[in-house]
Amino acid sequence: MGGPRTVGIGMDFSATSKAALRWAIDNLVDGGDRIVLIHVQSPKADNPKKHLWEDTGSPLIPLEEFKETSVAKQYGLTIDPEVLDILVTVSRTKGVKVVTKIYWGDPREKLCDAVEDLKLDSLVLGSRGLGILKRLLLGSVSYHVMGNATCPVTVVKGTKP
């Protein structure tokens, strides 16, 4: 309708973030759109790249580079082969451009920052499905982002084990 969109997907390589990725591909992403995988690492992570990009996040990493083990290791990531397979497939079949951006800090704040930095048209997150008490005590990333992001946010609930 309005041309290609930029869809952010919060990715920590958990089962729920993979479910969010699958949901976005099946229900939201069209040909020509851009997927930005957004990964937020702990501010305590000791990584040389963190010192370069701690304030702004990493540069956008194209899928072709992100697939390289050496590039992932530079950012302190262990890439999930299942996620790579999903991304390569959607890139080929739908003509979707895929990039990754890595931030360091509080996921709640950094995901909201990413919405602004990347000018996302929408953001898709997985939910761990915390109960009310745990959500009150621990806080909820998805709840915070839904209330503070300046774009539509879709929360995909994970399945119960």
pLDDT digits (tens, 9 = 90+) for 23-40: 999 999 999 999 999 999
Q: Where are the beta strands (DSSP E) in 6-69?
A: 6-10, 34-41, 61-62
Helix/strand/coil for 123: strand
Distance between CA 111 and CA 105 in Å, rounded? 10
**18 — pLDDT class (breaks 50, 70, 90):** very high
Burial class (CB in 10 A: 0-12, 13-18, 19+), 144: middle
Whole-model pTM? 0.86
Give the C-alpha separation, 43 to 106, whole Å.
Answer: 7
pLDDT at position 160 over 60: no
pLDDT value of position 128: 65
| Positive or negative: CA dihedral 10, 12, 16, 19 | positive
On the question of pLDDT at 159 being above 70, the answer is no
Domains of the chain are 6-157 (3.40.50.620)
- Using alpha carbons, select from 140, 142, 106, 104 the residue that is nearest to residue 126: 142
In percent, how much of the chain has pLDDT > 90? 53
The larger pLDDT score, comparing residue 101 to residue 46, is at: 101
Kindly state the average pLDDT of the residues 100-106.
92
